[in-house]
Structure 1
C-alpha cells in the first residue's frame, strides 16, 4: 500500500465519506431545526400575535402536561419497557389525592399518596413483566384495572373542589405558570439521573443490550423494574398536575395522553427498541406539539387539523428513525469493507 493510499485511508473517517455523521446529526439534532423552522414560520404567518413573551408562556404551559407524560414514556422506552398504563395511573393518582383531600387529609399527604400510586403501579407492572409477559399487554391490562378502580373510588363522578392544589396548576410564580416549573424540575432531575448517575447509565444500558448487562454482573431485572417505576411516577405527577389545573379529579383515563406523549418521544428520536434517548429532546418534542397547536389556534384553524398534523409527525418521525438507523448501519458496513479491501491491496 502506497503512502498516498495510507493517507487517504487515514483521512477517510475524518472526511466521513459515507455521510454517517450527517445522518446522526439529522437523527439527534434535526428536532431542534424543525422547532426553529416552526417558530420562524408561525412568527411570520401568525404575526404579530405569535412572537410574543406572553404567547411563549402559553405554549410552554400548554406543552407542560405532554412533557410530563412523555418523560415517563421516554424513560420506559429507553430501558425497553413501553408503559401504556399511563392514562390509568394518572386518573388513579388524581382520584386518590382528591378523595383524601375531600376527606380532611392534608394536601401534602394527598400529593404523596398520589405519587405513591404511580410508584406502586410501576413496581407491579415491572414484576409482572419480568415473569415473561409482554409489557405492552401487561400495561394495557393495568390501564383497564386502574380506570375501573379510579371510577369506583370517585363513585363514577369527578371529585371537585380541589382548590388547594392550585399551586401546582393555575398559580404563577415569577410570572411563570406552576406546571412549567414542575416540568423544569422534572427534566433537570431526570437528565441528571440518566447522564450523571450510575443507575441512570445502567438503566439506558439495559434497554440497549440487557443480555450484555447481565453478563457483566449487573442485575438487569432491577433496572427494568426501575424504568416502570419512573414511568409510573411521571404518570402520577401528570395526573396531579392535571387535577390541579382544573381543580377536580377525573376518573376517566384519557387515551390522548399516550398519543401526544408518544409523538413527542418519537420526534425526539428515542429508539423504540431501547437504549438510546435524550430527555431534553423529548421536551423539545412536546414544545413542538404545543407550538403547532398554538399557531393554528391563533390563525383560527380547527383543532382537528392540529391532531392530523400530530399524527403525520408521528408517522414521519418513525419512518425517519427507521431510515436513518438502517442507512447508518449499511454505510458503516460498506465503509468498513472498503477499508479492508483497500488495506489488502
Structure 2
C-alpha cells in the first residue's frame, strides 16, 4: 500500500478511531460507561441528533448551512402534540377534526418540509446567504412555537404516541430504528440517485454545476425541505419521549447537528462528506455528552469541551483541504 493510499485510509477512519479512543478513555475513568443499559441510553439520546444531522449533511454538502433546525423541531413537535390532544375545532360549523398518531406524524413532517423549503426558496430566489435566511427562520419558528403553545407545555399525549420515544422493538429503542430509516433513506439519495449526484456537484463547484444544466434552485429547495422534514422527525421523537411539547425544546440542537457533520468529515465548503461519517460524528457527540455527565462535569464545562471539539474538527478539515 502506497503512502498516499495509507494516509487516505487513515483519514477515512479518523472518526471511528476517535470514537474508539473516547470509549476506552471513558471506560477507564468510570465503570458506569461500558454497560448495556448505558449503551442503549446513548443510542436513544443520539437518535434525535442523527435525524437532524442527516438533514444538515445534505445542506452542508451543497455548501449551505441551516441554523433553524432546532426551532423547526420545536414547532413541529408542538403542532404534533397540539393536533393529537386538541385536534382542530371549527367553531363556525360546530365541527371537530381529530387526528390519529399517524396523522400528526405526517402533519409535522409536512410542516417541517414546508418550513425547510421556504428556507431554500429565500436563499435561491433572493440570493440571501444561508446563514442569514436560516437564522431568520430560527427566530420565526421559535416565535410560532411560543404562539401555538402560548408558552405552556402540551402534555399527556397518550401511550401510543409515547411509544415512539420510549418504546423498544427487539430490544432496541424505537428512536434508534427511526434514525436508522432516516439514515438509510439519505444514504440511498446520496449514493443511488441523480439528486445525490447533483448535491455533490453543487457543493463541489456550483458554477460548473449550473453550466452543466443542473437546476441549482430546485435542488437546494429540495435539500432544505428534506432538512426541515428530518428536523420534524426529531421533534416527534423528543415530544414523544418527554410526553410533552416544550416551548423551548430544541435549543442549541443545531449546534450539535453541525458538530456531528463536521466531526464526521463533511467539509463546510461543500462537495465532500458522507452520511455514515455524520452518524459516526453524532455518536461521538452523544458518547462525549454521556461521558461528561457520568463524570459529573459541570454543564458549563461541557459546553467548553464541546466547543473545543468542534473547533478541532474544523481545523482538521481545513488542514486536510490544504493537503
TM-score of the superposition, structure 2-length normalised?
0.91
2:70 is the alignment partner of 1:87: yes
For residues 187 and 51 of structure 1, the distance between their equivalents in structure 2, rounded to whole angstroms, comes to 25
Shift of 1:253: 5.1
Shift of 1:121: 0.7
For residues 150 and 54 of structure 1, the distance between their equivalents in structure 2, rounded to whole angstroms, comes to 34
2:135 equivalent in structure 1: 140
Shift of 1:129: 0.6
For residues 194 and 253 of structure 1, the distance between their equivalents in structure 2, rounded to whole angstroms, comes to 30
Alignment deviations for residues 203-252 of structure 1 (CA, whole Å, 9 cap, x no partner): 22112112211211221221111111111111111111110110111222
2:277 is the alignment partner of 1:294: no
Change (3 A) 1:224 1:185: same
Out of 63-72 and 238-247, give the one that drifted further: 63-72
2:221 equivalent in structure 1: 225
Query: Which has the larger Rg?
Result: 1
Alignment deviations for residues 130-187 of structure 1 (CA, whole Å, 9 cap, x no partner): 1211111111111111111111111221111123321210111111111111111111
Tell me, which stretches of 5 or more residues in structure 1 are unaligned? 1-13, 329-345
TM-score of the superposition, structure 1-length normalised?
0.85
2:92 equivalent in structure 1: none
Change (3 A) 1:309 1:23: farther
For residues 246 and 37 of structure 2, the distance between their equivalents in structure 1, rounded to whole angstroms, comes to 29
2:6 is the alignment partner of 1:35: no
Shift of 1:278: 0.8
Q: Which residues of 2 match residues 167-186 of structure 1 at below 5 A? A: 167-186=163-182
2:39 equivalent in structure 1: 56
Secondary structure of the residue that 2:244 maps to in structure 1?
coil
Q: Which residues of 2 match residues 1-345 of structure 1 at below 5 A? A: 15-16=2-3, 20-47=4-31, 49-103=32-86, 104-130=98-124, 131-163=126-158, 164-252=160-248, 254-326=250-322, 328=323
| Residue pair 1:28, 1:268 contacting (<8 A) in 2 also | no
Alignment deviations for residues 297-343 of structure 1 (CA, whole Å, 9 cap, x no partner): 333333433322211110000011111111x1xxxxxxxxxxxxxxx
